[in-house]
Structure 1
C-alpha cells in the first residue's frame, strides 16, 4: 500500500470541492518537481487519490481558492449571532461596556488567502472546529479586554483564537469524537495539534512569532501540567495565558452548560487557581457568583449515596498512589514518571484542601446534608472536576510511558497505581 500524505485534510479539501467551486490558482507540484494539477483546474473528490499520494509543493492552501469563503466580515457576523443568541455568553455581558470592541477585532484580525481557505474548510467540512474557534475567540477577547490589553493587540488576540485549533484539521476526525478511546499512538497525534498549528502559522510573517507562539501554548498550564512542552509560569507568554484559560472555559461551556449552567465552570475555576492567571480566575468567579446561573443545575437528581461513593473512589485513588510511592526505593521515587505522577496528585490533594476538603475523608462531607440538594450538587461538581483531573493524569502517564525503561521499577510502581486507578475512575 502506497504512503498517504496529510490524507485527513486532503479528504476535507476535496470534499469541499464537491459542494463549492474550488479552483487551482497556481499549479500543484510534487516535491520531486512533477506537475500534478495545472492552474485553472477544479478540485473535487475525484482528485483525492492523486493528491494524497504525494507531498505537495507549494502547500495546498497556497494553491486554491473557493467561492463564498470565510472573510473578516463573515467572521464578525457569526460572532455577532453567537453573542445575540447563545445564552451561555450572556453572563459575560455585565463585565463589558459593549460588544463593538469584540466584533471589530474579528474585522481587524490578519487573514490572508491561504488561512481564509483553511477556515472555509473548517466551516464547511469540520463545523465543530469552526464553531468552537469562533466561540473560543469571543471568550479570549473578553479576557483580553479584562486584562487591559491595548486596543491594537485585540486583532492579534482574535487571530490566535480563530487559528488555535487549525492543527486539528490534519487529524483523523474519529480521534476527536467525544468518548473515542485513545491509545498512546492516537494520543500523540491529538497532542501534536498545537505544534501543527504553530508550524502552519510561522510561515506567515503577520502571524509569527506572537500569534503562532500563543497558539503553540494554548494547552500549557502555569503549574507545568500542560502540553506539549510542559511550560511553567512566565515561560508562557501573556497571550498564551489568556488563550489557555479561554480554551478551558469554552470546553466546559460546550460540555456542561445545558446540564449545570455556569456552576461547573465556577467549580473548575476554583480548583485550578495554580494552572491559570489568578487575576482572571478571580474575575470570572466573581462574575459567575453575581448571577443566578452560578447555582448548580440538575440538583434534584443528586443523591448523597452516589456522591459519597464517588468521593470514596477518589480518596482510594490518592491512597493507592501514596502506597505505591512510599514503597518505592529512594532512587526509583526520583524517576521522571514517578516524580510527575507524585507532583500532579500532590497538587490535586492540595487544591482539595484549599477548597475545604480533606482528601482522606472526602465522603464525610456528605454527612448531614443528605436533604440539601444544592450542597450535594456543588460537592458532586467538585468531585466530577477532581475525577476529570485525575483522568488527565492517567492520560498523560500513557503518553509518557517511554520515559521509563520496560524493566524499570519506577514503571512497575506507576503501573500498579494506573491499573487500579483506571478501574476506580471508570466506575459509575
Structure 2
C-alpha cells in the first residue's frame, strides 16, 4: 500500500504549516485564549486558505477534498494548538449538512465555505457517558412545525455558532437507538439559551438549553442514529490527527529542551536513562501516527467495520497521548507546567482530546463489545 502523499496534499500541508508558523504563534494563541478562546480574525484567515470549504462538495462552493486531506490539515492545526473549532464546523457539521434534506442546509454550507457562518453539532447530554443513543431532548410536531426542548452540554464554540445540529427524540425511550432525528436550530430562535465558558485547554464551549425552540428536520429518525455515529467517527479521526500533530510538536520541544538544559556541565540529552525515555515517547508517537492513518482510511468502510476501527484508534491514541504528555512534562521538570511555556499547553490539549468523542475507557468497552473473534479456547 502506498502511504506517500500526493503533490496536492503536500502543498496543502505546506500552506497550513506556513500559516501556523507565521500567523498563529504561541503569543497570539495565548492572547486568543485570554480573550475567550475564539478569534473571528483567525477564522477568517482559515477561510482565506480555503480550509472552511475543504470537504464541502464543489456544487456547494467547496473544494471537495476527502478524509486524507482532512487528516493532513488537522495534524498541522494540532502542531499549532489552533483554538478555532475547525473540525467541529468544517468536518463534522458539514458532513451532516451534506447528508441532510433540509432546504436551508445548502445556505449554511455556502456560509461555512465562505467563512461567514459556523454550524456545530450539539449532541452531548448529562448522564449520557458518551452514549449516542442516550437522548432525552424531545422534538414535537406542532401544527406541521417542529419544536424542541432539552439541554446539550459542552457544545464546541457554541457561543460563536450561528446554528446547531441537535439530535432530538421523536419516539421511543431515552436509550433507544431508534427514534432519534437531527434538527437544525438557529441561534436566534426564541427559546434558545446559551451559556459560554472557557475550557481547560484555552478553547471555548457552551451549554445549550432549548425551550420549545423551532427546528428544521435535517435527518429523519430512520437515519438519525447512523448519521450521528458517522459524525462521531469523523470527529474521532480528526481528533486522532490533531493529537498526532500536537504530540509531534511536543516531542520536538522536549528534545530541544533536553539538548540545551545542562546538569553536571553536560546536556541532559546525554544521559542514557533520559535517552531511553525519549525513545519510548517516540515509539508511542509512531504507534499513534499509524493508528491515525488507520482511522482515516477506515472512514469509508461499512458501518460496523468503521465503528470498531475508530474505537480501536481512539484507544491507542488515548494511551499515547497520556504517555507522551506525562513524559514530556516530567522531562521538562517544573518549567513544563508554567503558563508562559508551551509544553504544558500541549499536555492540556492532549488531555481534552483524550476525552473528546469518548474517552479511552469508553472506547475500550466499544472495542470489546464489537469483537467477533474468539481466542480459540472459548470457541
TM range (shorter): under 0.3
| Structure index of larger Rg | 1
Report the TM-score when normalising by structure 1.
Answer: 0.24
Structure ranking higher on relative contact order (CA contacts 8 Å, 6+ apart): 2
Q: TM-score, normalised by structure 2?
A: 0.26
Structure in which a larger fraction of residues adopt helix: 1
- Name whichever structure is richer in strand by fraction: 2
